[in-house]
Amino acid sequence: MITLNQAIALPFVPTDLAGQVAVVTGAGGVLCSVLAGALARSGMKVALLDLDADAARRTAAQLQAQGCEAIGIGADVLGRESLELAAAEVLARLGPCSLLLNGAGGNHPKGTTSKEWLEPGDLQAADLTTFFDLDSEKIGFVFDLNFLGSLLPTQVFARQMLNADGSARPGCSIINISSMNAFCPLTKIPAYSAAKAAVSNFTQWLAVHFSKVGIRCNAIAPGFFLTAQNHRLLIDEASGQPTARAQKIVSHTPMGRFGEAEELVGPLLWLASPVASGFVNGVVVPVDGGFAAYSGV
């Protein structure tokens, strides 16, 4: 996996992003830190937002060491006041936001069932979490983190994209991070799948809603990538080998492997650049190694 400490070559360098301001939420994570780095290396001034302020600042410092203009800010995507404070800091230090990448999201174990199917006898098994045992509070947390965690930052930072007359400054856009779960839900994780489906639907809604003022809205739907959140589910801690679930995933991915974070960079830069994708609006781009195209037979 490529890290920010390694100088990776961008698949292409958009000429129209330099000097613009990008805001990336969830920027302390594996995927979004790489995406934030790509935006920074394309010449954008990047604000990295994360609930873990130290992680955001560490990533920003790595980018600064590479000659990029980046700042790290602690922010809670579910807290309007926290986001408003972050937005004020972005405006003061970098200027108004032109690109918002809504990358914050995640799942919770208590929104996950133990098994893929409910079978006779499961309701009597004390060691299983069935559909009937799912914690409504944690399901709400997962939905809020993914859906409201995209909606609230959009409410706050899209305002910086608008002129006094309500029109957007040229080239402004929003990119959400959805998931292949949004197209076809995975077993065991109903809360996360439903939340990402909401993100995809919200992306289309925003694209229509903002179309007259000139803000585009699209999404990237990653397939299976190893992250800090899913590493324990996909890699056995004792052996370091893929778990049974990971093996099933890879066997149903025609390319036969997990994705690498840098493989999301090309789609990101394409969607971010109004020169490259100026008439692309309301799409959800799968990046999944062919997972969705394979029926299993």
CB 68 within 8 A of CB 44: no
Among 141, 157, 192, 202, which one carries the catalytic annotation? 192
State the DSSP string of the chain: ---TTS-PPPS---TT-TT-EEEEETTTSHHHHHHHHHHHHTT-EEEEEESSHHHHHHHHHHHHHTT--EEEEE--TT-HHHHHHHHHHHHHHT-S-SEEEE------GGGS-SSSS--TTGGG-TT---GGG--HHHHHHHHIIIIIHHHHHHHHHGGGGB-TTSPBPTT-EEEEE--GGGTSPPTT-HHHHHHHHHHHHHHHHHHHHTTTTT-EEEEEEE--B--TTTHHHHB-TTT-SBPHHHHHHHHTSTT-S-B-GGGGHHHHHHHH-HHHHTT--S-EEEESTTGGG----
Say whether 294 is catalytic. Answer: no
Catalytic residue numbers read 192
